[in-house]
Structure 1
Amino acid sequence: MDRGDIEESGGEEEFPRLGGGKYRPVGAHDRAVVEMSSIDPGSSSSTLKNIRVVAPGEMGAGAREGPIPEDGVNGHQKESKLELFGFDSLVNILGLKSMTGEQIPAPSSPRDGEDISIMQGHPKPALKMGTMMGVFVPCLQNILGIIYYIRFTWIVGMAGIGQSLVLVLLCGLCTFLTTISLSAIATNGAMKGGGPYYLIGRALGPEVGISIGLCFFLGNAVAGALYVLGAVETFLKAFPAAGIFRETITKVNGTAVAESVQSPSSHDLQIYGIVVTILLCFIVFGGVKMINRVAPAFLLPVLLSILCIFIGMFLAKTDDPDTGITGLRLKSFRDNWSSAYQMTNNAGIPDPLGGTYWSFNELVGLFFPAVTGIMAGSNRSASLKDTQRSIPVGTLAATLSTTLLYVISVLFFGAVATRDKLLTDRLLTATVAWPLPLIVHVGIILSTLGAALQSLTGAPRLLAAIANDDILPILNYFKVADTREPHIATLFTALICIGCVVIGNLDLITPTVTMFYLLCYAGVNLSCFLLDLLDAPSWRPRWKYHHWSLSFVGASLCIVIMFLISWSFTVVAIALASLIYKYVGLKGKAGDWGDGFKSAYFQLALRSLRSLGADQVHPKNWYPIPLVFCRPWGQLPENVPCHPKLADFANCMKKKGRGMSIFVSILDGDYYECAEEAKEACKQLATYIEYKRCEGVAEIVVAPNMTEGFRGIIQTMGLGNLKPNIVVMRYPEIWRRENLTEIPSTFVGIINDCITANKGVVIIKGLEEWPNEYQRQYGTIDLYWIVRDGGLMLLLSQLLLTKESFESCKIQLFCIAEEDSDAEALKADVKKFLYDLRMQAEVIVVTMKSWDIRSEGNSKEDSLEAFDAAQRRISDYLGEIKSQGSTPRLANGKMMVVNEQQVEKFLYTMLKLNSTILSYSRMAAVVLVSLPPPPLNHPAYFYMEYMDLLVENVPRMLIVRGYHRDVVTLFT
């Protein structure tokens, strides 16, 4: 087939490409064909002009038959000059994405061997909003609400002008600092649905994100009830005849403004509140498009009503003090400057016999919902033209403008009426409004209904976003597709809202809302604090006006305000978030969102590693870091990544589970060809380690053979003082098999490499007999301490005693002495040494003259038989070498010089040691013996014979080789 011709292949024919994979041809059944010219060195820098999208309608029958002409749309088709990079052209990727508006996934390398297909569509671009309508207006609408109209004048009367200013500035500072933190996080990358939950979860992890996100969801749901009750209370105040029940509250504090004040019945609030909530739910079910069209219109009456309130205060009469309206007078300002905290009834009317006493702390909880709503812009991030600019500017503008409005309102409200009027007229804003109170009533109702609508719209989507992350299985009922409405979550939110409406008391609901909002704001500040403090390379927010100290102050201020409001509510809120956090940790699915805690762990690990330095660790700070060879001799099935008893032994080397193990397997082959197989094997090994509850990491190394792989591992594995210091592997009992002739040289090479690299060695003989954590052992742990090894053998015995399976055992220490040694003096010295090391063991000194090779009778028969068999095999091996006539060489290429007398000496020494072990330790739970290094110029085969003779008939043995440094110390 000619280059540039595409023939119909029915989806069966494939074309070769670089790396051995194949390309699938784009046929007529595809939705579109993308024709693109290659990039010639002399062509124009503008490559996108050569791209043409052929729609399916333009592809007639002729397009299905025969090849596409080579001089078609672009006149020629050539191979891309960028194909040598192994990826699709970046120009093509970005060009297609910008022209079609589609989301094209990241390209994969051609050598992956996967088919590449491009699906195109022409979706209608969604309407994007700017800073004003997308952020500023929603935030303003959510911030200006029921508290300002119904409770703000009452707060000024109760706290006075001075403390009211402190209250406003305190709450305003909290939201201002939170806005700065929000701006930094929101401008550090693209945002998805979920608002603050998404920001906190991606910064502090899924557990913290979900716990705070669910609390924020509850806060929004309860806030919906707050707004509904505010609208209903305003409606019943404006139209008292609409009330089904009527309640008259008589003032008993003797004020001259009025003798009695009527307030709506709690039953009326409940009935009307439930009806309004249901009606709002029907609107929410109508879809978010309708809500977004109607919601901005609610803001105009709010702004108009605020303007009318200020006009009314300027035009208020000053000659009618009986009504309590004094106009803007300095006398009223002075009278209302100080606080007047007192008892009130449930409706907030001053009453010496009332059951509620108000203080500054309670007023903080009552007022704080009036400054919330700063997250409204971040919730609409997907609909913004420029998220990175609109969220900081719009949110900060809304926060500062509303705070300024509240400060001015405190000054004006404190100067326009008497304190009694401020405390008794819950709708003083409507009373002073110009020209009619009805304007304020309408403004209050529309603003609160709009805010309630936003709460009932945003809360279900927040819950659905948490469910869609698929971390918490219990929330799966609320999962929805991206294009579907969260109806089940909306019903659940409505039930919570109705439950709070039934309470019917606005002043009892607002502290609950405050706690949840403050908890969320604290999470946002802590997220920015952590990210600022860590300053990871990925932390590059466009909003530059932030600092970790500001975020820390903001988070601290949130916590302080929570305790100011109510320490009991604070404890309940934190306990609820903690329970959710714990539940997510236990029941939630694992998720890695690249959160700040992972970065903190990384920074802490780096700092700790640097603090350890490059010098040797002091014996008091020494921890075993075993390097466990999982499959050294091919004795396991292919589907078993590690012997289970090796994992059990790795746990035995840790005191109370503290420490790290490195589990390694070597995969024979070429890395280029076996890379994917190695990755899959590493995943399986890591899963198995987690299943065995081992604290460690898994590594798979691809090498031409085991010897080369081990040398690479022993030289490079680990960092600084966190490199493995002990190599653990099983003894190769199967080395005599004809198809495993390479085992002796590999085994000797590994031991020599460990000695060269100054690593300890622990070889497990009888791995199949090693007990698991539930098999309790009795008897003794016998140590045959022959050479100085830095105390590694002693330390291993003590670590074994800390495990449940060996805690009932006792330690016996056998000291192998020379023939002319003073046994009693050696025993006394060893006992003193063990006492200083805080180790308990029975010391037994064995000298070479205490027994003779041929005179022990039955106790040595097994050893003698093994000795004679080893001699015969070595003689046969030497005979084969001599019969070849050539000079034999070792595995390292050096000439082999065999000294038969030295070989006899090694065999004899191993026989004596094995006989001693069988005499004293035949019933021991485990035997530890020093590992003799491979002798120079001895074939690996000989060394395996020596080792076989040493371990003969010993069911369970640890062969230990220390290194030239102490791992135990005498000193405190």
Structure 2
Amino acid sequence: SNRRWVNSNQLFVVFAIIFPAFTGMTAGVGLSGDLKKPGKSIPIGTTAATLTSFVVYFFIAYKLAASASSSQLLDNQLIMGDISLFGSIIVPLGLAASTFSSALGSIMVGPRTLQAIALDNSIPIQSANKWLSKLRKKDDEPVNSAVITCLIAFIFVAIGGVDVVAKIITMFFLVTYGSLCLISFLNHFGSSPSYRPSFKSKWYISLLGFLTAFWVMFQISLLYTLFAFVTMTLLYLYMDNYHKRRKGFAALFANTLFKLNRDLQIYLQKKKSSNTLKDDWRPSAICISKYTFKRDNALNLIDWISFKYGFGTYLHLIDGYYSKETVIQAEDEIKRLINNLNSSSNVYVDTIISPSTTSAIAQSIQIPGISGMENNMVIFEFEKNDPQDLNDIIDNFRMVNAGGFDVCILASSHKPIVYKNGIHIWVRSFDTENTNLMILLGFIILGHPNWKKANIKLFNICSEQEAESIRNQMNELVETGRLAITPKNIEVIIKDDSKTVKEIINNHSKDAGLTMLGFNISNFKNDNTELFEGYDEMGNILFVYSNDVKVIE
């Protein structure tokens, strides 16, 4: 009746002090090298030790609670000797035996652990590895490692405060247990075929162990937790840098991410029929170019699109048939391409080997993009000063259009891009499909840091009678779509019969960072390339074709 809960705020402090007394159950792990069948003995021994310890500690706690009052437990740390049969003799002997066994266990386990680390060449100093890994010939005892272990123990003893030492030791025990649980979880979740443990556990138990260990660490002491984290992280980074060829956490995380990515893509595939996914349009663009190392305009464009709102895949085309030589060339060029990429780029880059651009496009557009979404946009590119690829682009456009893709054709210019001059979009009131797609693309491109000081300008060429109506339509589109386009950036141009449309566009957009123009299938009748000609004074031009209407919500 007089029992009460006191000093609850000191619970984790007490836990930190007594925790090292619970770690003896794992002593067998450190002696795995001396066991005949460690894969069988360690799980059974550790589990049995854990259960035995739990039962013993439970009955000790029960005995103390039943036979002593709260005040006696608080005032007399050796109350067990008073309430036990022959306690004055048994309890001191038990304390001595417990202390001696703990010390003996540490002396046996610690040196063997250090010797195993040195034998694995984990210490960056080879002479240290050689010295610490030596065993005494007559009994195979790691004497050198034992000397270093004792020196470390003496350093901690010199600190003086038992509570402080216990906290530090608890932190390193917990960070070790937590790391082991994390490694077990990642191996379980990553499903690596090289992970074949003799004793199988459940992934959620490993995850729970990891989260619990690190949660308890922060509850005990933020300072000691950060100290343990920093120390272990620095040691890992140093050794990982020294042993660059070894698989570390990177391999574990890679396997986990591969599996997670697979699961997400399968989930998205099953949800394709969902109207929610269909209506929420965003570009998933793919671009194939063999001119990657001659000009980077197409790569820059797909980088702008995929930086924040969209997804982009860029394939560097290697002309030729698949062979050992072209595979080696592909490996070299993908490394070069990745090294040339900006560190902030979100474009997925790869190579594709094919004897023709058409076959490369036909293969690539059938494969889902890196995000798991089906590709819905194809980007072509040609150089304005040397439009030799235009006929191929027109032929490939027909094939891509048959698959229901949106198409962007970039006319590349050597003229420097002045980002602050913004994006100019030339629209037509009757061309809703292309207009909406161009406006959405303009908004998406402005999400890239290069365009942070830019804005979108809308232009429409019409007769004087249509001017007022068209201006109202454009203002309404901007307002209802919540687009970052101000009325002053909407310009309705009265058509001048003395000037061609191309002359008007050249005059207004010659300094634009990027100009967008819409086109349709009829522009390609009889393989006519006139659509792309006559813009010599301008910089990059993006010709846009929308396969269907994009709703600006």
Change (3 A) 1:918 1:833: same
| Residue among 108, 132, 135 paired with 1:454 | 108
Change (3 A) 1:528 1:949: closer
Q: How does 1:468-867 map to 2 (within 5 A)?
A: 468=122, 476-477=124-125, 485=133, 496-528=152-184, 541-543=197-199, 546-548=201-203, 550-551=205-206, 554=209, 558=213, 567=219, 569-576=220-227, 579=230, 591=248, 592-595=250-253, 597-598=256-257, 601-602=260-261, 605-606=264-265, 609-610=268-269, 612-614=271-273, 621-631=280-290, 634=291, 640=293, 643-654=295-306, 657=308, 659-673=310-324, 674-689=326-341, 691-718=342-369, 722-733=373-384, 735=386, 743-771=389-417, 777-786=419-428, 787=431, 788-789=433-434, 791-817=436-462, 822-839=466-483, 840-841=485-486, 842-846=489-493, 850-852=496-498
Distance in 1, matches of 2:175 and 2:261, equals 27
Q: Given that residues 31 and 109 in structure 2 are in contact (C-alpha distance below 8 angstroms), is that contact kept between their aligned partners in structure 1?
A: no
Kindly state the Cα deviation for residue 821 of structure 1 after the two structures are TM-superposed. Answer: 6.5
Equivalent residues, number? 523
Root-mean-square deviation (Å):
4.7
SS of the residue 2:365 aligns to? helix
Distance in 2, matches of 1:821 and 1:719, equals 49
Corresponding residue for 1:964?
548
- For normalisation by structure 1, the TM-score amounts to 0.46
Distance in 1, matches of 2:277 and 2:503, equals 38
Q: 1:142-165 CA deviation, whole Å, 9 max, x = no partner?
A: xxxxxxxxxxxxxxxxxxxx9xxx
Change (3 A) 1:499 1:605: same
Q: 1:227-268 CA deviation, whole Å, 9 max, x = no partner?
A: xxxxxxxxxxxxxxxxxxxxxxxxxxxxxxxxxxxxxxxxxx
Q: Which amino acid aligns with 1:453?
A: I
SS of the residue 1:844 aligns to? strand
Q: How does 1:856-895 map to 2 (within 5 A)?
A: none
SS of the residue 1:951 aligns to? coil
Question: What stretches of structure 1 of length at least 5 have no aligned partner?
Answer: 1-161, 163-336, 343-356, 469-474, 857-911
SS of the residue 2:490 aligns to? strand
Change (3 A) 1:534 1:693: closer
Q: Which amino acid aligns with 2:300?
A: D
Give the greater-gyration-radius structure (CA): 1
Change (3 A) 1:770 1:607: farther
Kindly state the Cα deviation for residue 513 of structure 1 after the two structures are TM-superposed. Answer: 1.9
Distance in 2, matches of 1:341 and 1:804, equals 57
Change (3 A) 1:949 1:489: farther
Q: Given that residues 464 and 479 in structure 1 are in contact (C-alpha distance below 8 angstroms), is that contact kept between their aligned partners in structure 2?
A: no
Change (3 A) 1:484 1:449: closer
Q: Which amino acid aligns with 2:411?
A: K
Q: Given that residues 628 and 663 in structure 1 are in contact (C-alpha distance below 8 angstroms), is that contact kept between their aligned partners in structure 2?
A: yes
Give the stretch that moved more between structures: 953-962 or 800-809: 800-809
SS of the residue 2:457 aligns to? strand
Kindly state the Cα deviation for residue 794 of structure 1 after the two structures are TM-superposed. Answer: 0.9
Kindly state the Cα deviation for residue 372 of structure 1 after the two structures are TM-superposed. Answer: 0.2
Distance in 2, matches of 1:623 and 1:824, equals 32
Distance in 2, matches of 1:414 and 1:829, equals 83
Percent of aligned positions with the same letter in both sequences? 18
Q: Which has the higher contact order (CA 8 A, sep 6+)?
A: 1
Q: Which amino acid aligns with 2:133?
A: E
- For normalisation by structure 2, the TM-score amounts to 0.76
Q: Given that residues 412 and 541 in structure 2 are in contact (C-alpha distance below 8 angstroms), is that contact kept between their aligned partners in structure 1?
A: yes
Q: Given that residues 282 and 310 in structure 2 are in contact (C-alpha distance below 8 angstroms), is that contact kept between their aligned partners in structure 1?
A: yes
Question: What stretches of structure 2 of length at least 5 have no aligned partner?
Answer: 135-142
Give the stretch that moved more between structures: 533-542 or 755-764: 533-542
Q: Which amino acid aligns with 2:397?
A: I
Q: Given that residues 536 and 599 in structure 1 are in contact (C-alpha distance below 8 angstroms), is that contact kept between their aligned partners in structure 2?
A: no
Q: Which amino acid aligns with 2:504?
A: T
Q: Which amino acid aligns with 1:521?
A: Y
| Residue among 400, 423, 434 paired with 2:51 | 400
Corresponding residue for 2:140?
none
Change (3 A) 1:413 1:712: closer
Q: Which amino acid aligns with 2:552?
A: T
Kindly state the Cα deviation for residue 671 of structure 1 after the two structures are TM-superposed. Answer: 1.3
Q: Given that residues 286 and 365 in structure 2 are in contact (C-alpha distance below 8 angstroms), is that contact kept between their aligned partners in structure 1?
A: no
Distance in 2, matches of 1:618 and 1:403, equals 52
SS of the residue 2:167 aligns to? helix
Distance in 2, matches of 1:650 and 1:479, equals 52
Distance in 1, matches of 2:144 and 2:302, equals 50
Q: How does 1:140-289 map to 2 (within 5 A)?
A: none
Q: 1:69-89 CA deviation, whole Å, 9 max, x = no partner?
A: xxxxxxxxxxxxxxxxxxxxx
Q: Given that residues 751 and 933 in structure 1 are in contact (C-alpha distance below 8 angstroms), is that contact kept between their aligned partners in structure 2?
A: no
Distance in 2, matches of 1:448 and 1:585, equals 28
SS of the residue 1:594 aligns to? helix
Q: 1:161-193 CA deviation, whole Å, 9 max, x = no partner?
A: x9xxxxxxxxxxxxxxxxxxxxxxxxxxxxxxx
Distance in 2, matches of 1:936 and 1:665, equals 26
Distance in 1, matches of 2:199 and 2:225, equals 30
Kindly state the Cα deviation for residue 386 of structure 1 after the two structures are TM-superposed. Answer: 3.4
| Residue among 426, 432, 435 paired with 2:89 | 432
Q: 1:568-598 CA deviation, whole Å, 9 max, x = no partner?
A: x332344345556887999976853234642
Kindly state the Cα deviation for residue 664 of structure 1 after the two structures are TM-superposed. Answer: 0.1
Distance in 1, matches of 2:235 and 2:263, equals 25
Q: Which amino acid aligns with 2:513?
A: A
Q: 1:730-771 CA deviation, whole Å, 9 max, x = no partner?
A: 3234646xxx6xx34322223223322222333333443354
Change (3 A) 1:800 1:552: closer
Kindly state the Cα deviation for residue 712 of structure 1 after the two structures are TM-superposed. Answer: 1.3
SS of the residue 1:716 aligns to? coil
Q: 1:489-541 CA deviation, whole Å, 9 max, x = no partner?
A: 98886665333211223233223322332343344445555666777877765
SS of the residue 1:953 aligns to? coil
Kindly state the Cα deviation for residue 938 of structure 1 after the two structures are TM-superposed. Answer: 1.6
Corresponding residue for 1:906?
none
Q: 1:869-901 CA deviation, whole Å, 9 max, x = no partner?
A: xxxxxxxxxxxxxxxxxxxxxxxxxxxxxxxxx
Give the stretch that moved more between structures: 493-502 or 532-541: 532-541
Distance in 1, matches of 2:435 and 2:494, equals 22
